[in-house]
């Protein structure tokens, strides 16, 4: 039974990783592939132009770094995904609150014709995917650590030294 639960947990973690890799890979490719549009969109934001210049390059680079970590260091990649998604959600909520004048939509080209409500919902769902992946990943790692004490080598060592 534990093997079956472990397999399901691993499948859910891998589905989370695949969805997030697709999201960040697409985000980076859309922003880097059309840097003129990306820069123009960032310059229409409420922050100064130099911040827009930095973010225009920083966001796709962070997205690519997140993809790499999701491939090789899952826990770090999931934490980066949570951080990026939380910051995008905060940005959308700021747009909803209408705290700053001007256009505040700089989406990556994912669903460009849909509004803030859809983007907020999509980001919350993806945040849920990342958090679920992280929780299951932590449980899986903790479970493996607990199982070490039940391992044959551990028992043999302590039987010999008792």
Which residue do the tokens 């505040």 mark?
104
Mean pLDDT over residues 3-21, rounded?
88
Give residue 48's pLDDT band: very low, low, confident or very high (50, 70, 90).
confident
For the beta carbon of residue 127, count every other beta carbon within 10 angstroms: 17
Sign of the CA dihedral with 116 first, then 95, 127, and 107 last:
positive
Q: How far apart are CA 132 and CA 43, in angstroms?
A: 35
Span 6-13, mean pLDDT?
Answer: 88
The reported pLDDT for the residue numbered 100 is: 66
Q: Backbone phi, then psi, for 151, in 5-degree steps?
A: -70, 160
Q: How confident is the model at residue 38 (pLDDT cuts 50, 70, 90)?
A: confident
CA–CA separation, 150 and 133 (whole Å): 26
The answer to which of 28-32, 66-70, 104-108, 118-122 has the lowest mean pLDDT is: 104-108
pTM confidence score: 0.79
- pLDDT band for position 135 (50/70/90)? very high
Q: What is the pLDDT of residue 13?
A: 93
pLDDT at 82: 97
Average pLDDT, integer, range 109-125: 79
In this prediction, residue 128 carries a pLDDT of 96
């Amino acid at each position: 039974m534990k093997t079956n639960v472990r397999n399901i947990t691993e499948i859910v973690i891998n589905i989370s990783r695949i969805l997030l890799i697709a999201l960040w890979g697409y985000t980076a490719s859309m922003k880097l592939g059309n840097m003129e549009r990306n820069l123009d969109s960032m310059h229409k934001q409420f922050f100064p132009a130099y911040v827009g210049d930095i973010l225009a390059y920083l966001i796709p680079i962070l997205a690519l770094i997140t993809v790499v970590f999701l491939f090789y260091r899952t826990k770090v990649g999931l934490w980066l995904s949570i951080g990026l998604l939380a910051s995008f959600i905060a940005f959308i909520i700021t747009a909803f609150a209408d705290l700053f004048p001007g256009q505040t939509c700089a989406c990556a080209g994912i669903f460009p014709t849909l509004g803030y409500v859809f983007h907020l919902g999509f980001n919350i769902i993806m945040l849920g995917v990342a958090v679920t992946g992280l929780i299951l990943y932590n449980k899986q790692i903790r479970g493996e650590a607990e199982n070490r004490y039940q391992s044959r080598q551990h028992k043999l060592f302590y039987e010999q030294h008792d």
